[in-house]
Chain A
Amino acid sequence: MSAQARYRANTRPGEPEKMSLTIKQAGLTLAMTGALSSVAFSAQAQEEVQKGGTAVIHMISEQRILNPGLRASTGVYNITGKIMEPLIDKSYDGYEPVLATEWSSSDDGLAITVQLREGVNWHDGEPFTCDDVAFSAMELWKELLNYSSALQANLESVDCPTPHTAVFNYSKPMPLELFVAAMPDLGHPVPKHLFEGTDILKNEYNTAPVGTGPFKFVEYERGQYVLAEKNEDYWREGYPYLDRIVWRFIKDKSAAAAALEAGEVHESGFIGVSMADVARFGEDDRFDVGTQGYENNVAHSTVEFNHRNPILADLKVRQAMYHGLDIDYAIQTIMHGFAKPGRGPVPSAGGINYTDDVPTYAYDPELAKQMLDEAGYPVQDDGFRFHLKHRPAPWGEYTQLWAEYYAQAMKEIGIDVEILTNDAPGFLNGVYRDHDFDTANGWHQFRSDPAVSTMVWLRSGQPNGTPWTNQFGWKSDEIDQMIDDAASELDVEKRAEMYHVIQAKAMEELPVIFAIEHPFISVTSTKLRNHHNTPRWNSSSWYDLWLEQ
């Protein structure tokens, strides 16, 4: 078994039992990982908790906005998830109450009632009530929060019949399942008394958050770090264990690896070090390396087609190109085994909405060549069938490597791919606004529910220039209708079936190739305990995280 493809559970060096299994064995499904985590963490639970200490966390990108009610981004949650809490979070056992204690829906799906936790105070001492939730929902989640403004487009009002009861009123049915699935990311209330009557986008508390979480914001030194300290009045009795958390911004991946090795940093998440270093740390007993804790943040590495190009508008060409990609090879060489082949817009961590009963495209370059010949694209005098301009997204080392592999693989079947390297604004404009590309690749996160994430990849009619949406010139009235119907379908089983159909259709029509499904990877010091014990761990509150002194 290669070290790179190994997942090590969270055990200390020297401990007699060390769990090792391949990533394929470990599986990426929520249930499987949940089972794994319970075994791994039951071992941790036997240790005596040590209170105190400062956990230092590496972040590759600086997060300038520290308000999850204003910015839906895993980078923002990574810091603010400890300071500001959502109504509902996600554990390996399902959705768990945080600031909400119960939730229910009316039969027609037009009203969702949420009971709020009592006895919770903001860090400035003011009580948390329904007024905060109503204000946040109407002024931030519906108006200003990316992803959420589409989700809450039909939200008409939030009533507060009691100080701790919030009723969300919708003009169209809102599936409770969708509402709940969205809350961990898109359901962070802000304190109304600090935001009301201010310019919300320029409010000072956007960079100095006041929340209800286990840690209180202390300071944000631009370009260096964010520091939070223990909230002594936290509503969970006896928590948190840590005294402080520091998030250090280290842009250079080699420097981040050095900081981990020197013991100055305890965790680097979201593949914050190079893939080569990930493999190296996998061999080092001082670190746990793995994908656990990212089940809610699974992403796809893609190949995106510009269907305005008549060659790529030909389904046979797209299918041939898929046959020309050796996905397993790419997984082993680029992702060091920490991934699996994609099966359409819903990843295997998508729960009931996922199916693997979809058309697939085995690696078969000869078949690919034959299909391209049949499509009317034989090899020309210059040795190529046609030429493509490709734009890789600038996020992540593996994205660039995937682009290079894609170009090599296409060359094997007679397609010349010219890679145009660009930075983030250049990529976003080139692909999503100017449509100046033939193919592109990037990675795109699934966020609990298809309706609030990957369906935007397929739904037509997105305004020009909107990043990470269907700007590919591809349109299917059938799929558009199914996406709209599924978003307001109240029956969970029926809704899941609709997504299965969409998934199969997407794999058949290939508007986008969802080539590789990969969670992120963390390198974590074994001194940290209770780490990666939820499916969105880096975004969660870490109230039970502790540090071996």
Chain B
Amino acid sequence: MTLHMPPILTYALRRLVQAIPVVILIMIGTFLLLKLAPGDTVDALVGDMGGADAAFIARLRAEYGLDQPIWVQLWRYMVKLASFDFGWSFVYEQPVATVLMDRLGTTLMLMAASLSIAFCAGIVLGAIAARRAYSATDNLISVLGLVFYATPSFFLSLMLMLVFSVKLGWLPVGGIKTIAAFYTGWDHVWDVVRHLIMPTTALSLIYLAFYLRLMRASVMEVADLDYVRTARAKGAREGRLMTHHIMRNALLPVVTLLGLQFSTVLGGSIVVETIFTLPGLGQLAYQSVVQRDMNTLMGIIFLCAIIVVVVNFLTDLLYARLDSRIELA
């Protein structure tokens, strides 16, 4: 009996099968790479403690399995990972899965908000700049884009903090919520939103500049193509022309960039989360590297690999939706 599956499911299954060896290779490579770095979790813990005697250090190392050869450690880790057991964080004294889940929400909120704002504002501003190319509006938008592109996120973060927290007192300096305020319901939501305004702004502006510049170039290119000229000659209104013919096709490279940049936004969030003390995966990744918290770091890498695979899959779907010439095969 032949099993007939919808093309989308077949495509998804094939992508999943392709992703498995990729993720395994990423995990093995990362594990070995991290082991090349000097020191381990125990060194970092002892550094934090301000010292310890040799017996104490040896006991901790044996307790954490760090006294075993690297290949034994790797094998044990991969066997556990096969059943989605991420192990124990010796730094946070919790299961890695718990540590990751505690942080995932904040990072996803930050990334989703930043990328949404950057993407939406970028394509709108890019399209406006392209349609009014070489005008004062275009110049203004282009200069703004350059400024956003050239401003490092750590500098922008500190300047936002200085103006909106220290000088004006409008927004909280950091964190994800007001501690000991015990807000509930919409008050809690608003409290979280207030805490996310500056980090989101700091993280999104550089990506906004990417999308803006790419969209501007893409719209200008598509607007000169034959089918746009034909549509215009057939009497299509400018608004419809823009939304149905130009934007739809000009968006393709921008959507590609969106998928590719999902992982780099995660990298950018390390700086922003650290400055604004947001308890997200970026800050956790930084701390895990410093602390040599292998299990947590491997968990983050695994999660990121999965997120990137999923986002790229979704990007491909969106691609097919935007351009009917593209088939999911």
Give me the interface of A with B, judged by CB distance under 8 Å.
54, 56, 61-65, 71-76, 144, 146-147, 149-150, 201-202, 206-207, 221-225, 227, 244, 246, 248-252, 254-255, 258-259, 261-262, 264, 395, 422-430, 445, 456, 462-469
Contacts and interface: CB of A to CB of B under 8 A. Distances in A.
B316 interface: no
Contact of B50 (A72, A225, A246, A463): A72
A467 B47 contact: yes
B56 A149 contact: yes
Contact of B158 (A63, A206, A207, A254): A254
Interface in B31-76: 37-40, 43-44, 46-57, 59-60, 63
A225 B179 contact: yes
B99 A222 contact: yes
Contacts of A428: 39, 43, 46-47
Interface in B83-141: 91-94, 99, 102-103
A439 to B, nearest CB: 18
Given A62-B287, A255-B157, A428-B39, 6 more contacts: A72-B49, A146-B50, A223-B277, A258-B162, A262-B166, A428-B46
A225 B179 CA distance: 8
Contacts of A144: 56, 59
Contacts of B37: 425-426
B272 to A, nearest CB: 10
A262 B174 CA distance: 11
A227 B176 CA distance: 15
B163 to A, nearest CB: 10
Contact of A424 (B39, B165, B279): B39
Contacts of B43: 424-425, 428-429, 467
Interface in B158-201: 158, 161-162, 165-166, 169, 172-176, 179-180
Contact of A73 (B50, B56, B94, B175): B50
A255 B44 contact: no
A150 B193 CA distance: 51
Interface in B270-305: 274-280, 283-284, 287, 290, 292
Nearest to B171: A262
Question: Which of B99, B102, B179 has the most C-beta atoms of chain A within 10 angstroms of its own C-beta?
Answer: B179
A54 B180 contact: yes
Contacts of A61: 48
Given A64-B91, A224-B179, A467-B46, A255 B173 contact: yes
Given A64-B91, A147-B52, A206-B93, A429 B39 contact: yes
B51 A468 contact: yes
Nearest to A56: B179
Given A251-B277, A424-B290, A429-B38, A146 B102 contact: no
Contact of A426 (B39, B103, B175): B39
Nearest to B106: A223
Given A261-B166, A262-B173, A425-B39, A462 B54 contact: yes
Contacts, number: 159
A249 B277 contact: yes
A74 B50 contact: yes
Contact of B277 (A224, A262, A430): A224
A224 B292 CA distance: 20
5 contacts: A149-B53, A222-B99, A227-B179, A423-B290, A469-B51
B291 to A, nearest CB: 8
Interface residues of B, number: 54
B290 A222 contact: no
Question: Which of B54, B99, B176 has the most C-beta atoms of chain A within 10 angstroms of its own C-beta?
Answer: B54
B49 A146 contact: yes
Contacts of A465: 54, 57
Contacts of B52: 146-147, 466-467
B38 A466 contact: no
A430 B38 contact: yes
A428 to B, nearest CB: 5
Contacts of A246: 179-180
Contacts of A258: 158, 161-162, 165-166, 173
Given A73-B50, A224-B277, A466-B53, A425 B292 contact: yes
Contacts of A425: 37-40, 43-44, 47, 292
A250 B99 contact: no
Contact of A64 (B59, B93, B283): B93
B277 A468 contact: no
B176 to A, nearest CB: 7
Task: Give the top 10 A-B pairs by smallest Cβ distance, nearest first.
Answer: A425-B39, A463-B54, A223-B279, A146-B52, A425-B43, A424-B47, A468-B51, A426-B38, A259-B173, A466-B54
Question: Which of A76, A428, A468 has the most C-beta atoms of chain B within 10 angstroms of its own C-beta?
Answer: A428
B108 to A, nearest CB: 15
B35 to A, nearest CB: 12
Contacts of B166: 258, 261-262
B173 A224 contact: no
Contacts of B176: 224
Given A64-B91, A244-B180, A147 B51 contact: yes
